[in-house]
Amino acid sequence: MGSDGRLSWMWPRPGSRARTGHAGRSVRPRLDPARVADLECAAWVAYYRRRWLILLAAAVGLLRAGLGMSWPRTVRAAWFALRAIQLWAPIPDNDPDGARRYLRRFYALIQATHGRPGDPAEAARLEVEWWRVHRVAAQAAPGARGELVHALVRSYASVFGVTESAVHLAAVHRCRAMEISDQWVAQGRLRDSQLLALERAALAQSYAALLAAVHR
């Protein structure tokens, strides 16, 4: 279990309506990259320990914080995400087609709420593609790190409707977080490992860069 499929759990909500603050001023929803990074790191730990119920609970919390959908839609989206991850997880006998089907349903729910991504099927395809590239990169294949960054960039650009250059930094930081996670796995998945703090920091940097790219 040296690699996995991991969704980007925080959604900057580019299509959401701004709420009205004092004096009628428009206030853009604010998200805390550090908080979401903590939650996602916990979800990754649950994944590698194959604690599916814990992962489902983490997914619900992360998606609720990041998407701001109703509770019924949040729970459905979390279930679709979990099923996609479970179908991808086995090595070598995983089911990428099944993972894409569940991710298409996942992205369709988000599209129905926020108007993005424009093409849920393409978003699902690109998501599973970077999962595949990460699995190769985790085996220390030559040149895989650059390919993983590029795959992440394509996925982010497709989902959020921005240029690839805008999300490059977010992809670089997320790639670093996955490298740290892979190192944590190789060292025995210790709950008190100092690597987890480094992983959270890299994820927070990735989410901060993603927010800046989407909202600029």
* Maximum separation of any 2 CA atoms in the chain, in Å: 58
Spatial contact of 48 and 1, defined as CB atoms under 8 Å apart: yes
Spatial contact of 91 and 50, defined as CB atoms under 8 Å apart: no
Residue from 99, 97, 121 nearest 108 by CA: 121
Q: What is the pLDDT of residues 10-55, one digit of tens each?
A: 555 444 443 444 444 333 345 788 888 998 999 999 999 999 999 9
CB contact set of 157 (below 8 Å; sequence gap of 6+): 163, 164, 166, 167
Distance CA 216, CA 97 (A): 35
Reply yes or no: is the peptide bond before residue 120 cis, omega within 30 of 0: no
Q: What is the pLDDT of residues 64-117, one digit of tens each?
A: 877 878 899 999 999 999 999 999 999 889 999 999 999 999 999 999 988 889
User: What is this structure's pTM?
Assistant: 0.85
Give the pLDDT score at 138: 76
Distance CA 184, CA 140 (A): 15
Give the pLDDT score at 7: 60
Distance CA 213, CA 216 (A): 6
Q: Worst-scoring range by mean pLDDT, 117-121, 122-126, 135-139? A: 135-139
Q: Report which residue type is found at 199.
A: E
Give the pLDDT score at 35: 86
Q: Which spans in 20-95 are helix H?
A: 33-48, 52-67, 71-88
198 pLDDT band, cuts 50/70/90, is: very high
Give the pLDDT score at 167: 96
Spatial contact of 128 and 88, defined as CB atoms under 8 Å apart: yes
Give the pLDDT score at 143: 66
Give the pLDDT score at 66: 78
Say whether 20 sits in a helix, a strand or coil: strand
Give the pLDDT score at 68: 79
Say whether 28 sits in a helix, a strand or coil: coil
Q: What is the mean pLDDT of the chain?
A: 85
Distance CA 114, CA 67 (A): 9
Computed over its alpha carbons, how large is the radius of gyration of the chain? 16
Is the pLDDT score of 190 beyond 50? yes
Strand residues in the chain grouped as ranges (E): 19-20, 26-27
Spatial contact of 87 and 97, defined as CB atoms under 8 Å apart: no
